[in-house]
A and B are shown apart, each in its own frame.
Chain A
Amino acid sequence: MAANGEALTSGGYIKHHLTNLTFGQHSDGSWGIAHSAKEAAEMGFWSFHVDSMFWSIGLAFIMFFVFRKIAKGFSIENPSKIQLFVETLFEFADTSAKEGFQFKNLWIAPLALTIFCWVFLMNLMDLIPVDWIPELFIFLGVDYMKIVPSTDINIALGLALAIFIMIVYYSLKEKSPIGFFKELAMHPFSAKEFGVSNTGVQLVINLFILYPLNLVLETVSLLAKPVSLGLRLFGNMYAGELIFILIALMFSQLFTMTASGFMMGVAGGALQLVWAIFHILVITLQAYIFMMLTIVYLNQAHEHGDH
Chain B
Amino acid sequence: METIVGMTAIAIGIMIGLAAVGAAIGIGLLGGRFLEGTARQPEMANTLQGKMFLMAGLIDAIPIIGVGIALYLLFASGLVDPVALKELLG
The interface of chain A, by Cβ under 8 A from chain B, is 11, 14-15, 18, 38, 228, 231-232, 234-236, 238-239, 242, 285-286, 288-289, 292
Q: Are B81 and A232 in contact (CB under 8 A)?
A: no
> What's the nearest-Cβ distance from chain A to residue B17, in Å?
15
Interface of B is mostly: helix
Q: State in angstroms the CA–CA spacing of A296 and B71 once bound together.
A: 30
19 A-B pairs whose Cβ atoms sit less than 8 Å apart in the complex = A15-B75, A18-B75, A228-B65, A231-B68, A232-B57, A232-B61, A232-B65, A235-B61, A235-B65, A235-B68, A236-B68, A238-B68, A238-B71, A239-B71, A242-B75, A285-B53, A285-B57, A289-B54, A289-B61
Which chain A residue has the least Cβ–Cβ distance from B66?
A235
Contact of B68 among A228, A234, A286, A288 (CB under 8 A): A234
Q: State in angstroms the CA–CA spacing of A38 and B61 once bound together.
A: 31
Q: Please judge, given known A-B contacts A15-B75, A18-B76, A238-B71, whether A285 and B56 are in contact too, CB under 8 Å.
A: yes
Q: Is B62 an interface residue (CB 8 A)?
A: yes
Q: Are A292 and B75 in contact (CB under 8 A)?
A: no
Q: State in angstroms the CA–CA spacing of A242 and B67 once bound together.
A: 11
Q: Are B67 and A239 in contact (CB under 8 A)?
A: yes
Q: Which residues of B have CB within 8 Å of A15?
A: 75-76
> What's the nearest-Cβ distance from chain B to residue A206, in Å?
33
> What's the nearest-Cβ distance from chain B to residue A288, in Å?
7
Q: State in angstroms the CA–CA spacing of A242 and B61 once bound together.
A: 17
B interface bracket (residues with beta carbon within 8 Å of A): 10 to 19
Q: Are A242 and B71 in contact (CB under 8 A)?
A: yes
Q: Which residues of B have CB within 8 Å of A242?
A: 71, 75
3 tightest A-B CB contacts, nearest first: A235-B68, A232-B61, A235-B64
C-beta contact mask, B40-82 vs A, less than 8 Å → 1, else 0? 0000000000000110111001101111110110011000010
Q: State in angstroms the CA–CA spacing of A239 and B54 once bound together.
A: 19
Which chain A residue has the least Cβ–Cβ distance from B83?
A11
Q: Are A235 and B54 in contact (CB under 8 A)?
A: no
Q: Which residues of B have CB within 8 Å of A238?
A: 68, 71-72
